[in-house]
Structure formats: structure tokens, C-alpha cells
């Protein structure tokens, strides 16, 4: 029988529906003062031993939920509020979290049957993303199982797997955990947890068991425990006996690829030392192995006209920008051109870089000059023309470019205006398109491919890409400096009829101008001179520059630098 009835007040919240009762807490949906629906968990403080409270007074789940939500991760339940109430002579604490419409994983499987491999992997990647976030905060979940994962329905009908129960979360400490273990799911527990040892690797085991469950419809090594009743020793013995058998990875109804069998064997190793060392490593391996090793690679002939050999003038064609060029030489190019020294000094390989800054500041020129400076084969994709990954055919076309780049390695793939190819999604869920692109880009340096991306709007680039092993380094390309501005003026005035030109003065007067501003100023001066039927003079150029303002001021530059 629930403690609080429909319509009853708990603090400023009104009970809508009772969900379930646990050993020391009850769950409800409630309405807030804003008439929005929320989840609420109410803890009976008298039923929780003081030894299981933080500092003898605070419910761990409330504290950990608040800690986790200091930063946002859409695969972990969102904290809203907490507080305390008294009813009769009893004290209750409550935790309020966002309400999600959707279905628990176990409910979904019971309703619609097992998931296909692709969907199972997508769900697992989301859970690993949330779990990696928790581990980065030095917290263990300790109870990953299907009934703790909600398939949250988003506004566009997509489903986002979310870890919704934090009732067994603990800090990463060795020794017996500070929570009750009797209600943990027996077949989702790592062997060492039966000895009271919980580590990041025990969470990895639980996610491996979750992936297995999604594909096969039951937990690994699962047997009937009905005869054990609530006897913990009998349950432990039965689980240990079942795990002496070989793990079943092929049935009459379910056949999975060999790479996934390898991943499941590693994640579900009964010896912790043989498992993935972390949830992040599990995530990366799963992403990497989504690409089959026996894929037929194209010869690259159909793309030949798009590919170039980086053998031009390199950085010599980029006037000025000495600081940026030195940064690129030191942080990226040196290791590429000196692999033995990079190995000796254990320099981390660079997988991808992003050049960002205001439009017209020369990012594309720097990117192409970079490829020529390195001397690798390269191609340039104009993302605004190539299309977004969410458009039909774009993923396949991008895959062909990567395949051809692998054949032509070492290879540099320049992606101009990458925000058009992979923009920030309207909702932060992990879609098959995002996973497909990450599977191409993540650790592509191992295949001899380096990503060089440019962007006018770095805040519009999908943050899914901005991670180690994908886009590793970010470089700001500012407006052209003094020498660069002189060079741009010379380039645009060199073949036109001109009087004697003082390029130093023009460069001083055009401080903060991007290349497009200088081009426009020269064109206006040329139009004036042509109308007057005279050569382009210093005076005409100066007059134009005096009334012309830069498109992007120094304030813009500071904004980009943040």
C-alpha cells in the first residue's frame, strides 16, 4: 500500500500516480507548481540504516544525482529538486527528476521481442556513454540492468536510452559497498561483486550482460532460480555453477557477427583482469568494430579528379600567420614527418584538427597549405555542397571517400565548413548517422587518415565529434595579420593598372579586415579608377579604406577565441 495518495501534497508537489514500492523507497509521478509532470522517489528515513546514509543523514542517491547533474549528460536521469517532509511521526526525504514518457528496456523486450543487433548496439552505446560520464565523476553505478534503463521518447519520435535508477551508486572505493546488495539482479552482477568488490570493470560486465540480454532475450548464463527463494547463498551458488558452462553466443534463432562475439566474450569475462578496462574503452571498441574488416575497398579511380598530391608551396603561400604555422608544425606536422622520433618520445598521434574563425579569414587556404606542407595525398570536401549526414546517400558517399583515402594513405581529408556535414542535432540522442560518422572518423589515423576540418561556427559543430580520438586539436585562425594583408593587396592589385602603391600603409589601414573585406575594397577602388579613366592610386585606395569598416571586429575575434 502506497504511503501517499493521488492528489496528496509532498512539499510543493502533488501526487499523480503511484509507480512502485522498494525496500526503503516508493516512486510516484507528481505535478510541480508549474503543472509539469515529474518523477519522485520518496525515502522512508526510518527504514534506512544510518550506516547507509552519507555522514549518517543524507540519502546517497539524492547526493549523487545532484553531483552528476552539475554537467549535462542525456543518457543519465536529470535532477530537478529534493527536499524533506513529515507524515505522522515519520520523516521522509524525496528526490525529484525529469519525467520521461517511454518504456523500460525489459518492458519493451516483453512487448516486442528481442532487439536486432544494430538496435542493441545503439542502445548499449548510449548506456556506455552515460556510464562513462558517471565514471568520469568517480562514481560507479553498480546496478545496470534492463529495468533501470528507460527508452525515453523524444519529441521527434526517436528513443533515447537513459539510465534512470541511481539507487546503488557509490564512490570508486575498494571494499564492501555502503548499500544493500540483496536486490541486485543476480545474472547482471560480475562474479567479484558476490565478494563485495565493485569497480568500473564490474559495471562493464553488467553492460555486457545488458547487450547480451537485448540480443538473446535473457541474461548470460541465466537459469531458473525459483527453487532458491530468497536464500542469498543458494542464489550465489546457482549462479556460480551456471557460469561454469561455456557462454552461448549462437542459437537456432540468433546469429551474431564474429566481432560481436569477441566483444561479448571480453565484456563478460569472469576474470576482471580480462575485461575492457573502462566503459569508455568498451564504447570505443564497439564503435571501431562496427566497420567490417572484409569490406571491399574501391580503387579510388572514380574519385581520382578529387584527389591531389600535397606537393605545392606549403605554408610559403600563407603570408604572415607565423604563430599559427609554428603551432601546426610543432603540435601536428612534426610527429607525422618524424614517426620514429614520435614513437621514441611516445607522442600521442593526432587523429583530427579543427581550424575555426570568422568567414574570410583564410581557413581553407591554411588547410590546403597544411596538406601541401605535410606532403600527403589529400582531398577537399565542401560540406555545404556535400550535404548533411541526415540527408539520403551522404553517409554512403562519405564512406566511399574514407575507403579511397585508406587506399591512398597517408592521406588528409579536408572538410570545409564541417558544421554543414555534422551539425548540432536538435535533440542530443545518439542516432545511427552520428554513430556511422564516428565509426569512420574515430581513430582513423590508425588507417593513415588525418581529418582537417574548418568551421565558421564551431558552436554549431556536433559535440559528438569533439572528443579524443576524433577531433583532437583545435586552432583559431584569426583575421589576416599585417604581412598577410599586404600579400592580399598585392595579389589583387598586381595585374591591374596602378600607380605606385604603399602596401605597408594599406595594411595598417585595413587592421581587422578579412580577405573578403580587402577584396571588396580593391574592387571598389578599381571601379572608381575605371570610371575616372585613371590608374588605381594610393589616394583612391586610402579613401575607400577610410570609410570601410571590417566585417568582423576585434570583439568578434575575442568571441571566437572563447
Would you say residue 2 lies in a domain?
no
E strands in 301-363? 307-309, 352-356
The helix, strand and coil proportions of the chain, stated in percent and rounded to the nearest 5, come to: 45, 20, 40
- CATH number reported for the structural domain that contains residue 80 in this entry: 3.30.200.20
In this structure, are 491 and 470 located in the same domain? no
- CATH number reported for the structural domain that contains residue 343 in this entry: 3.40.50.300
Confidence of residue 361 (pLDDT cuts 50, 70, 90): confident
Q: Answer yes or no: are the C-beta atoms of 359 and 378 closer than 8 Å.
A: no
pLDDT value at residue 210? 97
pLDDT in tens, 235-263: 999 999 999 999 999 888 899 988 899 99
343 is in which domain, residue-wise?
301-476
Would you say residue 394 lies in a domain?
yes
Of 476, 493, 513, which residue sits at a domain end? 476
In this structure, are 327 and 464 located in the same domain? yes
Would you say residue 450 lies in a domain?
yes
In this structure, are 283 and 184 located in the same domain? yes
pLDDT value at residue 163? 93
Would you say residue 293 lies in a domain?
no
Confidence of residue 509 (pLDDT cuts 50, 70, 90): very high
Q: Answer yes or no: are the C-beta atoms of 24 and 47 closer than 8 Å.
A: yes
pLDDT value at residue 293? 38
CA-based nearest residue to 220, from 265, 278, 276: 265
CB atoms within 10 A of CB 437: 23
In this structure, are 346 and 222 located in the same domain? no
- CATH number reported for the structural domain that contains residue 552 in this entry: 1.10.8.60
Residue 175 reports pLDDT greater than 70: no
CA-based nearest residue to 20, from 44, 2, 47, 45: 2
Average pLDDT of the residues of the chain: 86
Three cell numbers written together for 256: 551474431
Residue 363 reports pLDDT greater than 70: yes
Of 45, 80, 98, which residue sits at a domain end? 98
Q: Answer yes or no: are the C-beta atoms of 491 and 503 closer than 8 Å.
A: no
pLDDT in tens, 179-236: 778 789 999 999 999 988 899 999 999 999 999 999 999 999 999 999 998 888 999 9
Would you say residue 161 lies in a domain?
yes
In this structure, are 113 and 81 located in the same domain? no
Q: Which of 167-181, 213-227, 310-324 bottoms out in mean pLDDT, i.e. has the lowest?
A: 167-181
pLDDT value at residue 399? 86
Report the alpha-carbon distance of residue 284 to residue 442 in Å, rounded: 8
Q: Which of 179-193, 280-294, 415-429 bottoms out in mean pLDDT, i.e. has the lowest?
A: 280-294
Report the alpha-carbon distance of residue 212 to residue 150 in Å, rounded: 17
Would you say residue 296 lies in a domain?
no
In this structure, are 344 and 395 located in the same domain? yes
pLDDT in tens, 54-113: 877 889 899 999 888 877 788 899 999 999 999 988 999 999 999 888 888 999 999 989
Residue 508 reports pLDDT greater than 90: yes
pLDDT value at residue 178? 67
Report the alpha-carbon distance of residue 418 to residue 461 in Å, rounded: 7
pLDDT value at residue 173? 62
In this structure, are 70 and 170 located in the same domain? no
Stretch (H or E) spanning 417: none
Confidence of residue 116 (pLDDT cuts 50, 70, 90): confident
| pTM confidence score | 0.56
Q: What percent of the chain has pLDDT over 90?
A: 46
Residue 507 reports pLDDT greater than 50: yes
Mean pLDDT of 119-142: 90
In this structure, are 111 and 82 located in the same domain? no
Our count of domains for the chain comes to 4
Would you say residue 1 lies in a domain?
no
- CATH number reported for the structural domain that contains residue 117 in this entry: 1.10.510.10
Q: Answer yes or no: are the C-beta atoms of 435 and 120 closer than 8 Å.
A: no
pLDDT value at residue 36? 92
Q: How would DSSP label each residue in 486-554?
A: HHHHHHHHTTS-B----HHHHHHHTTT--HHHHHHHHHHHHHHHHHHTS-B-HHHHHHHHHHPPPSS-H
In this structure, are 320 and 449 located in the same domain? yes
pLDDT in tens, 403-419: 888 878 899 999 999 99
Report the alpha-carbon distance of residue 73 to residue 88 in Å, rounded: 38
Q: Answer yes or no: are the C-beta atoms of 151 and 102 closer than 8 Å.
A: yes
Confidence of residue 295 (pLDDT cuts 50, 70, 90): very low
In this structure, are 427 and 490 located in the same domain? no
In this structure, are 110 and 60 located in the same domain? no
Q: Which of 11-15, 244-248, 435-439 bottoms out in mean pLDDT, i.e. has the lowest?
A: 435-439
In this structure, are 244 and 126 located in the same domain? yes
pLDDT value at residue 258? 87
pLDDT value at residue 562? 34
CA-based nearest residue to 143, from 61, 41, 72: 61
Confidence of residue 49 (pLDDT cuts 50, 70, 90): confident
CB atoms within 10 A of CB 533: 6
Of 43, 78, 98, which residue sits at a domain end? 98
pLDDT value at residue 313? 76
Q: How would DSSP label each residue in 160-179?
A: EEEE---TT-EES-SSS-SS
Mean pLDDT of 514-525: 89
Q: Is the dihedral of CA 212, 262, 274, 68 positive or negative?
A: negative
Report the alpha-carbon distance of residue 81 to residue 69 in Å, rounded: 11
Stretch (H or E) spanning 216: helix 200-216
Please work out, in degrees rounded to the nearest 5, the angle formed at the alpha carbon of residue 494 by the alpha carbons of 489 and 500.
85
Would you say residue 3 lies in a domain?
no
Amino acid at each position: 500500500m502506497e504511503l501517499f495518495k493521488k492528489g496528496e501534497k509532498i512539499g510543493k508537489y502533488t501526487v499523480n500516480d503511484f509507480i512502485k514500492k522498494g525496500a526503503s523507497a516508493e516512486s510516484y509521478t507528481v505535478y510541480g507548481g508549474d503543472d509539469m509532470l515529474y518523477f519522485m522517489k520518496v525515502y522512508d528515513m526510518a527504514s534506512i540504516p544510518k550506516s547507509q546514509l552519507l555522514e549518517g543523514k543524507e540519502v546517497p542517491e539524492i547526493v549523487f544525482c545532484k553531483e552528476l547533474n552539475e554537467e549535462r549528460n542525456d543518457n543519465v536521469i536529470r535532477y530537478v529538486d529534493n527536499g524533506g517532509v513529515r507524515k505522522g511521526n515519520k520523516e521522509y526525504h524525496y528526490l525529484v527528476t525529469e519525467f520521461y514518457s517511454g518504456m523500460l528496456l525489459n518492458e519493451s523486450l516483453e512487448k516486442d521481442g528481442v532487439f536486432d543487433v544494430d538496435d542493441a548496439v545503439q542502445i548499449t552505446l548510449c548506456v556506455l556513454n552515460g556510464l562513462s560520464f558517471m565514471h568520469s565523476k568517480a562514481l560507479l553505478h553498480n546496478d545496470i540492468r534492463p529495468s533501470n534503463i528507460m527508452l525515453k521518447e523524444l519529441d521527434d519520435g526517436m528513443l533515447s536510452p537513459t539510465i534512470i535508477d541511481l539507487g546503488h551508486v557509490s564512490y570508486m572505493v575498494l571494499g564492501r559497498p555502503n548499500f544493500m546488495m540483496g536486490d541486485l539482479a543476480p545474472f547482471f552482477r560480475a562474479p567479484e561483486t558476490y565478494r563485495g568488490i565493485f569497480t568500473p570493470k564490474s559495471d562493464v560486465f553488467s553492460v555486457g550482460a545488458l547487450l547480451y540480454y537485448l540480443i538473446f532475450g535473457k541474461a548470460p548464463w541465466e537459469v531458473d532460480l525459483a527453487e532458491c527463494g530468497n536464500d542469498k547463498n543458494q542464489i550465489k551458488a546457482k549462479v556460480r555453477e551456471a557460469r561454469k558452462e561455456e557462454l552461448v553466443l549462437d542459437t537456432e534463432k540468433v546469429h551474431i557477427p564474429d566481432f560481436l562475439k569477441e566483444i561479448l566474450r571480453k565484456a563478460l569475462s569472469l576474470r576482471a583482469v580480462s575485461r575492457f578496462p573502462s566503459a569508455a574503452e568498451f564504447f570505443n571498441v564497439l564503435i571501431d568494430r562496427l566497420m567490417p574488416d572484409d569490406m571491399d575497398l574501391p580503387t579510388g579511380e572514380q574519385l581520382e579528379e578529387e584527389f591531389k598530391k600535397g606537393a605545392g608551396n606549403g605554408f610559403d603561400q600563407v603570408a604572415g600567420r607565423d604563430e599559427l604555422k609554428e603551432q601546426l608544425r610543432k603540435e601536428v606536422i612534426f610527429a607525422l614527418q618524424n614517426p620514429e622520433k614520435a614513437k621514441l618520445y611516445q607522442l600521442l598521434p593526432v587523429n583530427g584538427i579543427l581550424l575555426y574563425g570568422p568567414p574570410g579569414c583564410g581557413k581553407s587556404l591554411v588547410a590546403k597549405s597544411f596538406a601541401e606542407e605535410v606532403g600527403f595525398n589529400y582531398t577537399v570536401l565542401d560540406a555545404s555542397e556535400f550535404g548533411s549526414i541526415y540527408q539520403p546517400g551522404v553517409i554512403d558517399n562519405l564512406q566511399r571517400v574514407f575507403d579511397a583515402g585508406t587506399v591512398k594513405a597517408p592521406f588528409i581529408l579536408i572538410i570545409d565548413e564541417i558544421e554543414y556535414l555534422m551539425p548540432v542535432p536538435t535533440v542530443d540522442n545518439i542516432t545511427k548517422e552520428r554513430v556511422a560518422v564516428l565509426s569512420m572518423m574515430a581513430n582513423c589515423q590508425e588507417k593513415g587518415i588525418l581529418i582537417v576540418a574548418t568551421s565558421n561556427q564551431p558552436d554549431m559543430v556536433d559535440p559528438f565529434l569533439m572528443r579524443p580520438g576524433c577531433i583532437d586539436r583545435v586552432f583559431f585562425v584569426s583575421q589576416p595579420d599585417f604581412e598577410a594583408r599586404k600579400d592580399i593587396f598585392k595579389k589583387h592589385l598586381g595585374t591591374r593598372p596602378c600607380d605606385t602603391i604603399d602596401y605597408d600603409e594599406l595594411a595598417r589601414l585595413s587592421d581587422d579586415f578579412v580577405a573578403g573585406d580587402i577584396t571588396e575594397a580593391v574592387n571598389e577602388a578599381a571601379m572608381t579608377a575605371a570610371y575616372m579613366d585613371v590608374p588605381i592610386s594610393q589616394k583612391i585606395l586610402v579613401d575607400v579604406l577610410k570609410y570601410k569598416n571590417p566585417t568582423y571586429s576585434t570583439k568578434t575575434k575575442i568571441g571566437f577565441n572563447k
